[in-house]
Amino acid sequence: MSSSNPIQPATPDASAIRPRAIFLFDPLLALGAIGLVVCSVVTLHGAFGSSLSDRQAAYAGIGAIIAVVLARIDYTRLRDYRYGLYAILIASNILVFAVGRSTLGAQREIPFPFISVQPSELGKVLLIVALAAFAVDRTRQLHERRTTARIMLLGLGPALLVIAQPDLGTGLVFVAIAVSMLFIAGTSWKHLTALAAMFVASVALVIVVAPALGVHVIQHYQVERLESFLHPSSNPNSPGYQASQSIVAIGSGQKTGTGFAHATQATQGFLPEANEEFIFAVVGEGYGFAGAALVLSLYALLIWRILRILTMAKNLYGALIAGGILGMLMFQVFVNVGMTIGLVPNTGVPLPLMSYGGSSVLVTFIALGLLQSIHIQARIASAGKGRALLS
């Protein structure tokens, strides 16, 4: 009598799963991003007309297409291009000094026929992908001080280039990315505490010691922003004017907002840069506490889903990328909202997916595409393990 193997339950193989991989995406992460884009477009249209809102919608549409393409790619392939990506990061931010367009005293954008590209914005994602690969290369030495120093220096290099453009806010985002990735990698608290102490000492050196010696590291307008934050009522015409007008805008919105037909701060020009760095104040004036709470709830949804993707990543590389993106978004949201309500100085950090601007929107969608790729690959790996247990 011939022997036969027990009948195994039918399970899809990898070739059957991959064509449907795009359907393994995280719908709540996508919902949070779409919700923020809708809030941005509606706010820009109500306060500033269809010109800005149509462009913002177009940027978001292009970004969504890029995110879908990235979601279908296995993110682990990017690890092989870490040196090239880091070189592009450094070279592009050096190139901006040679061919960049100067706007309001800052040289941050490289003009092209139909769009201006801000290398520092794209550099956020390039830094995350490259830095994660460098950390994985030293997996067995992550507890060593040399590893902590190398990763931090790799983050500080492009950060200093960006700060010199000058763009202090984005430079600090680079630092936040490096620190968050060190934390996710399991760096000891001693090393993190030492980094915090060095940061405080550096700030004191730049703000107090260097000016006393006649050396001015940061720009004059940046010093004015800091002074106006510390003493907001000393000079109403100083850069603190923006923060004070922002607080007035948010306060006048009360529970449900004034509506843009009756709004004054944003629509009548009292609040400078209302469509960019101070878009949250525009939401607060037009839609009140209800609108501001909705926007913050959508950011909370994004953060929750990123944390979930971080924990389910199939490898350390994916977890570090997710951790870097988490640090990038959380830092920008905290700083931007904080400066609109007077909790932190104005550093020019945009509010992701809300502030008007092509570079910021596209880069945020690139980050979301990478997160979806991590989620999809984790689902595929989980399905593969399930098949192995059944076989």
10 within some domain: no
- Residue 3, pLDDT > 80, answer no
323 within some domain: yes
Q: What is the pLDDT of residue 262?
A: 78
Q: What is the pLDDT of residue 20?
A: 63
Q: What is the pLDDT of residue 236?
A: 54
Average pLDDT, the chain: 84
Place of tokens 């682990």: 76
What is the number of domains present in the chain? 1
Confidence of residue 17 (pLDDT cuts 50, 70, 90): very low
Pick from 48, 40, 134: which is nearest to 85 by CA? 134
- CB distance 287 to 298 below 8 Å: no
Confidence of residue 91 (pLDDT cuts 50, 70, 90): very high
18 within some domain: no
Q: What is the pLDDT of residue 7?
A: 44
Please state the pTM of the whole predicted model: 0.87
Average of pLDDT values for 338-356? 88
Q: What is the pLDDT of residue 4?
A: 45
- Residue 51, pLDDT > 60, answer yes
43 within some domain: yes
Q: Each residue of 191-214: pLDDT tens digit?
A: 888 888 888 887 777 666 556 666
Range of the domain at 108: 24-386
Higher local confidence (pLDDT), 164 or 355: 355
8 within some domain: no
Q: What is the CA radius of gyration of the chain?
A: 23
13 within some domain: no
**Residues sharing a CB contact under 8 Å with residue 148, sequence separation 6 or more, in sequence order:** 182, 187, 191, 195
- Residue 2, pLDDT > 50, answer no
Higher local confidence (pLDDT), 188 or 124: 124
254 within some domain: yes
Per cent of the chain over pLDDT 70 is 82
Q: What is the pLDDT of residue 239?
A: 56
